[in-house]
Amino acid sequence: MDKNFYIHGVFESVARVEEGDLEATTGQVIRLPDPKIVEVVKKVLEESPQRKFLESVELAVNLKNVDLKNQKNKIDEDILLPKGRGKDIKIGVFGTGEFALKAKNAKADKVISPEEIETIASNKRTAKKLASEITFFIAEAPLMITIGKRLGPVLAPRGKMPRPLPPAADPGPVIQNLRRTVKVKTKDKPTLHVVVGSREMKPEDIAENIEAVINRIVSKLEKGKANLGTVYLKTTMGPAHKLM
């Protein structure tokens, strides 16, 4: 596959239209997902047997000529998927008063008070279970010191330290965006694993998410696409197919 397929400009504004409608009413350029990516997605979905649970569609990106011992080459990004994850994830919020109430109104999956922080931290098994169940955390900023001291040893190694927000902020929009967000982070090996959708999604929507993820990764590499090696796509338990 042509390695230039994903280089459309990281900050490019794309106007989306209904399927089959090829005219833009806003005057913006219409760009549909690359058909080569769509074909690979279709093949992945067709060749993966149906399971008794909703599988995710996952991307494996292998980097090349990247020295991960150099801190500046590390990647740690939260990427908003334009078409969402295709399945629910859980959002946890540490907060008090009005902030906590807004989080509950925004359908946060778990709202944790300062008193509960101490209770959770006192039981390591409970703390680990919380970290396992919740994908992203948000916290009222003044609570961050307490969270860091009491839950940091469990949350930090898992990349799940909360995103701090001012007490007067509305956590609602952040919660909604996080439900469509994936984390991409390098560890000790030059391979990135990231969810780009679920098998119930349209292939075109998964393809659009793939482009968004690869664009962001390329933008963070020192030599751009020259540091990009092979890319594979698969469902959770299905066979991997080479995307590029």
* pLDDT the model gives residue 188: 87
pLDDT tens for each residue of 75-100:
999 999 999 999 999 999 999 999 99
Cα–Cα distance measured from residue 52 to residue 68, given in angstroms and rounded to the nearest whole number: 38
pTM score of the predicted model: 0.82
Higher confidence at residue 118 or residue 21? 118
Which among 206, 242, 207, 197 is positioned nearest to 35, based on CA atoms? 207
Packing angle, helices 124-133 and 114-121, rounded to 10:
120
| For residue 16, pLDDT beyond 70 | no
Predicted pLDDT of residue 13: 32
Q: Which residues contact 32 (CB under 8 A, 6 or more apart)?
A: 204
Report pLDDT for 166.
Answer: 97
Sign of CA dihedral 118, 120, 123, 127: negative
Q: What is the pLDDT of residues 104-140, one digit of tens each?
A: 999 999 999 999 999 999 999 999 999 999 999 999 9
Exposed e or buried b per residue across 37-71, where buried means at least 16 C-beta atoms within 10 angstroms of its C-beta: bbebbeebbeebeeeeeebbbbbbbebeebeeeee
- Residue 122 burial (10 A CB sphere; 0-12, 13-18, 19+): exposed
pLDDT in tens, 141-161: 999 999 999 999 999 999 999
As to burial, measured by CB atoms within 10 angstroms (0-12 exposed, 13-18 middle, 19+ buried), residue 89 is middle
For residue 78, give both structure tokens. 């939260």
- For the cut 90, the answer to whether the pLDDT of residue 31 exceeds it is no
pLDDT at 8 > cutoff 70: no
All domains of the chain in start order, with CATH: 3-86+179-242 (3.30.190.20), 91-178 (3.40.50.790)
- What are the tokens at 122? 């006192």
Mean pLDDT, rounded, for 192-196: 97
Q: What is the largest CA-CA distance in the chain?
A: 59
Q: Average pLDDT over the chain, rounded to whole?
A: 88
pLDDT at 18 over 80: no
pLDDT of residue 21 exceeding 60 = no
Q: pLDDT tens across 158-186, in order?
A: 999 999 999 999 999 999 999 999 999 99
Q: Which residues of 1-31 are buried (b: 16+ CB within 10 A; e: fewer)?
A: eeeebbbeeeeeeeeeeeeeeeeeeeeeeee
